[in-house]
Structures are given as C-alpha cells and as structure tokens.
Structure 1
C-alpha cells in the first residue's frame, strides 16, 4: 500500500476538503498493539491497488501523534479506537470500524457504493 502519512492536524482539514472529490480512508495504528499490527497486516495483504486507485489512503501512527487521533475523533464524531479505519466522503465519516472488524472487503463495499452512484 502506498500510505500517505498523517503527521499534522491541518492534514485532517485538507482531507475533509479533498473528500468532496474522492473518498479518503484513514487507518489509525498503534505500534504497541499486536491486534493493530494484525489488522494492518491483513489490510495490506488484501489491498488491491487497482480496485482502490481512486481512494486516498492515510496512515496514522497514533503513538507518535495521539493529538491527531483525538482531533480525528472530535472532527468526525467517532470514538477513539485503535486500530481503527474511517472512510471520509464529503467531509464526513461515513464508515468506521475497529480491531478485527477492519476488513478489506467491507472497505471495498463502502468504496464501491460511493463510486457507483
């Protein structure tokens, strides 16, 4: 996966704007959590770049950037969890899941529902 790395709060504001043109996925990862490592690995192994070419994807190391994770929770009105995946469209979180609920087929289903309207 070709992750864009979240390292500043102002990127979240830009993501809200850019999500008007195409969906954005955020993956919040804890480097201290084995479940987070498994979720990240499962997602990376299943990811099909051709199928998801028009979705921007972002990776947040929430140990280094807990402030950004908290900002995401407030901005998109979702509880903080780790690991966690969010899909942003038109400036809003339209899907989120965490832990072993993070699955490529679900992300793809949501993505396809946005692109086949």
Structure 2
C-alpha cells in the first residue's frame, strides 16, 4: 500500500474522508526525534497493510495547521494519528511513536 504525502487542504480532506482505519504522520525533516519516530512508522508500514499519509510540517505548514484546527489537537512534531470514519481514534507524539504503540492502537 502506498504512502501519500499531503500538500494541500484538499488532499487532507480526501484522505480523512476515506473509509477504514488510516495513519497520518506529521514529520519535521530537520528534527532528529521526528526522524527516529518516522523510522518507527516506516518499520510498522513494512510489515502491515494500512492506508497512510505524511505531512511535512515545515514544507506544508497550512496542511499541518489544518490538522490541529480540524481535530482540536495541539500541534506537535513528530505526531501520529489513527483516523477512522473522519475521527481521530488515537494520537501520540515524540518518543511515544513506536512500532509497538502503532500496532497496539490499530489492534484495539
């Protein structure tokens, strides 16, 4: 399953509207903590088929801000969201983003 990079509010709307469980990752390409969390995210995706998307927070700031506004969840980076039926079912950030944490969230 391919991972999409979201560059616009329209792409975000389209991704959120899709049925089923999906992961949304907010990534800062200049932050070592974000790089570590992104690697955990990628490791999870290698072994599991789940729809996913990434927002690069510096490059696509309006899209990143729209996530915080839409779901009323304070922006952090790195940050991951489990979405289902247009709602956030789980989210976490920083060092709490691990392959095991993602796996547990998806298997609840």
Per the normalisation by structure 2, the TM-score is: 0.89
Whether the 8 Å contact between 2:28 and 2:58 is mirrored in structure 1 is: yes
Kindly provide the CA deviation profile for residues 69-117 of structure 1, in whole angstroms up to 9, marking residues without a partner as x: 100001112110000001111111111100000012221222122xxxx
Q: Distance in 1 between matches of 2:26 and 2:106?
A: 18
In the alignment, is the contact (CA less than 8 A) between 2:82 and 2:89 conserved in 1?
yes
2:40 maps to which residue? Answer: 42
- Which runs of 5 or more structure 1 residues have no equivalent in the other structure? none
Q: CA deviation at 1:48?
A: 3.8
Aligned 1:23-42 pairs, distance under 5 A: 23-42=21-40
**Counterpart residue number, 2:5:** 5
Match of 2:51 among 42, 53, 56: 56
Q: Which has the larger radius of gyration?
A: 1
Q: Distance in 2 between matches of 1:42 and 1:87?
A: 15
TM-score normalised per structure 1? 0.83
Return 5+ residue gaps in structure 2 as ranges. none
Contact kept in structure 1, 2:44 and 2:102, CA below 8 Å: no
The alignment partner of 1:44 has SS state of helix
Q: How many pairs align?
A: 108
Residue 16 of structure 1 and its aligned partner are, at CA, apart by 2.4
1:87 maps to 2:82: yes
Other-structure match for 2:61: 66
CA distance in 2, matches of 1:77, 1:27: 16
